């Protein structure tokens, strides 16, 4: 199902790329997360790639 609306596509790409990564175990966490969902480590780094990078 192709997305024709460029605004929706932009939001969808951002939602896929913006996340937080745990410093300790590298698990992906929600952007709103304050602690890692796997190891409870509070040190999370932001993963915010430029749009369009998918490999
Ligand atoms: Zn972790």
Residue 18 buriedness (CB in 10 A; 0-12 / 13-18 / 19+): middle
Q: How does pLDDT run across 1-55, given as a tens digit for each residue?
A: 677 899 998 888 777 788 999 999 999 999 999 999 999 999 999 887 765 555 5
Cα-to-centroid distance, 16 and ligand 1 (Å): 19
CB-proximal residues (5 Å) to ion ligand 1: 22, 24-25, 27, 36, 38-39, 41
- What is the helix (H) or strand (E) element at residue 53, kind and residue range? none
Model pLDDT, residue 53: 53
Please tell me the distance between residue 17's alpha carbon and the centre of ligand 1 in angstroms.
18
Q: What is the pTM of this model?
A: 0.64
Task: Kindly state the DSSP code that residue 49 receives in the 8-state scheme.
Answer: P
User: Ligand 1 centroid vs 41 CA: distance in angstroms?
Assistant: 5
Predicted confidence at residue 12, as pLDDT, reads: 83
Q: Which pLDDT score, from 0 to 100, does residue 50 have?
A: 65
């Amino acid at each position: 199902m192709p997305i024709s609306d460029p605004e929706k596509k932009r939001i969808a790409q951002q939602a896929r790329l913006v996340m937080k990564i745990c410093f300790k175990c590298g698990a992906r966490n929600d952007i709103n997360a304050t602690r890692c969902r796997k190891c409870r480590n509070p040190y999370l780094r932001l993963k915010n790639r430029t749009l369009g990078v998918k490999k």
